[in-house]
Structure 1
Amino acid sequence: MLRPATRAAALATALVAFAPRAATAAFHVAVIDEVATSVAGDPSQQFVEIRMLAASQNQVKNSVLAAFDARGTYAGDVLVVPGDLGGSGVRWLMATRALQDRQGIAADFTFEPGLLPLEDGMICWGAPGDALPADPGSWDHSDFTEYVDCVAYGRFCGSAPGGVPVPATPADHSLTRTAAGPFTDQAFQCSETLTPTSSADPAGLQIAGAPCVSVPAVPCFTALPGGTPLRTDCYGEWLVSGAAGTAPVVACPATDPGCHVGQARDCLFRAQFCFALYRGRCAAAPITSFRLRGRQKDDIDRENALAVLEAVNRLGVEGSAGSVDLPSISGLACTAPFDLVVPLERRGSSLRGGVRRFRAVTVTRRKRDSDRLKLVCVP
């Protein structure tokens, strides 16, 4: 499983901007527990259930339920919670009026339909605040590190604090948490039975949903061909957010706050690897394995390599060091997006551009495709 953005101490400096907030107040010790964005094909029936992990986590007035689209862009507030909880249950519910009326359950708070991303996106709930949720007008709702918990799902391409998005949608079934702890998308699984439960109606409901179907990742970014020969140059390709052309070199400009993170101004690139992007003169061939080549000179290189290999490993079977066997890929297949870190070079008090290089080899039964990638962090 890909770890959250704070996956290793070696990355802490570069990723400090993405570290989730500590749980300190009388609403923080809670998690998103279940999400549904439609029932029986009706997107007006939606709900988000929160589960308290400790007693007295009921001071939720002014906390925010927010939506982010499939690119990770803040889409707006779904609900600014208008009051505190009066019930004694460990779960509480935000839901549309249509779900309450048609399913016969009383939610604790009501929001308008159509605001939750239906199949692909991310929702976050919470607020900053040391004791009570901060005034909603006092903080940036597009910054997911300010929330108590988030869950990304479906074909989500943005950065998510919970790691790899849930490979399913909450449409016509629900996404249900199976383990405690915030910001852990892989702790969710698709459930064919929806079970909304509220503090006002602690008995809850069981609603029959549609069968669950796994949702594969899709190409999210610009594909970067690795070069000649063209007849094999589609077996595997790097895709990187922010790529300006087709050359396998991507830079994070000094003026781009989207890829410079933390006070150290190191760079974070969102990337993925796709197989079988057949086009033009490139002939189809069954993919058999993936190999990541190149010397790993420090902890950053090792963490980056781990991020790539963990992502590819979800498509196949872990092989020998630096390789993954891919016995079942015969058509387009992409990893979920992952983050690659490129720190600036520090020489005394001066900063220089940082560079990290990657080389992937995609192997078929008879041929192979070598793809290089150069990432540049501009100070």
Structure 2
Amino acid sequence: MLANKKVLLCVTGGIAVYKAVALVSKLSQSGAQVKVVMTRSAMEFVQPLSFQVMSRNDVYYDTFDEKDSSVIAHIDLADWADLIIVAPATANFIGKLANGIADDMASTLLLAATAPVWIAPAMNVHMYEHPAVLRNIDTLYKDGVRFIEPSEGFLACGYVGKGRLEEPERIVELVDSFFNETVKLPLAGKKVVVTAGPTLERIDPVRYISNFSSGKMGYAMAQAAVELGAETILISGPVSLAPPAGVELIRVESAAEMLQAVLDYYSAADYVVKSAAVADYRPKTIHEQKMKKKEGETSLELERTTDILKTLGEMKTTQRLVGFAAETTDALTYGKGKLESKNLDWIIVNDVTDPAGGFGSDENVVTLISRSGIEILFPAMEKKELAKQLLTTIVQEGTDSL
């Protein structure tokens, strides 16, 4: 599907530049015409000759080096491309693009570009999670730029976390899907609301009731929804995760705040994925001052929080409602009961005592149960891949039942 497609690759300075060489090779082998623009920093890691050999085209790095006097190089390259990919994209380069700075060949041509622009970040995990970087990513996304999420793994700086450039094979798959006009993203044109993480119910200014939910599964579901084409709203309790690129993030703290946030978006939603671990109880009284320790035992009076999932099930009109059931015993039995009692379309059941998954794990093993009686076991796999398989199955089964 890449035959004669024109891909312009902008390479910025980071240790992941070596992967960009492999990306050019794989794109060329797939039939694409590839041209490469390098920043001066990128040339500190890999010489232009490597990209020239792999692409069989001149490599550009100097705004004032006009290889063809009949055209202006940075304008001609911008007009030539069917797709522009920045890989690897450093925090510095992302910041320049977000603020319209054009001080080298790559940043200058991107200001002149009308083709779709994809950015594949690669940096230290703490840099990727820095508020300034996240703001710049959000700005570019609102400008129409799309992002190839970095992978989690061992980074060159020695850290393990999110920030590794996505593998070249995966980027080629995404490019192939983009140019394959016969493939329509299954959630294109749909709005998906995802809830994630725990809620926090305050006792006093320094204490609270919560749970062990890390939010990883919910964030993976939100990322999958974006990749499948949906406009995605992520309503998140307190977690230490960077939001997936492309989502609209709504941060909440308590069960009451999460309920209100979901209701704000519910009427316009096509799918609601309720993966947050919402507190069932909250303190009946929130003390304005810290409760002092006393001799002997004490008690804390609790009251029920509003059952968000049941409320949504009662209000449901055209929405497709997906719930999660995190259980420790008789998981499938309790999950099926929840599916019926809360008027859900699907329930995703996982036994949190299973060592292959559960709270905080990067993997999960779940069973998807539909109202129509379909029951599918998804074996242990990374939550990102699991989320995509779950949503794809849910959309397909829903389409088939219409």
Whether these two folds match at TM > 0.5 is no
Normalization by structure 1: what TM-score? Answer: 0.32
Higher relative contact order (CA 8 A, sep 6+): 1
Normalization by structure 2: what TM-score? Answer: 0.30
Higher helix share: 2
Question: Rg larger in 1 or in 2?
Answer: 2
Higher strand share: 1
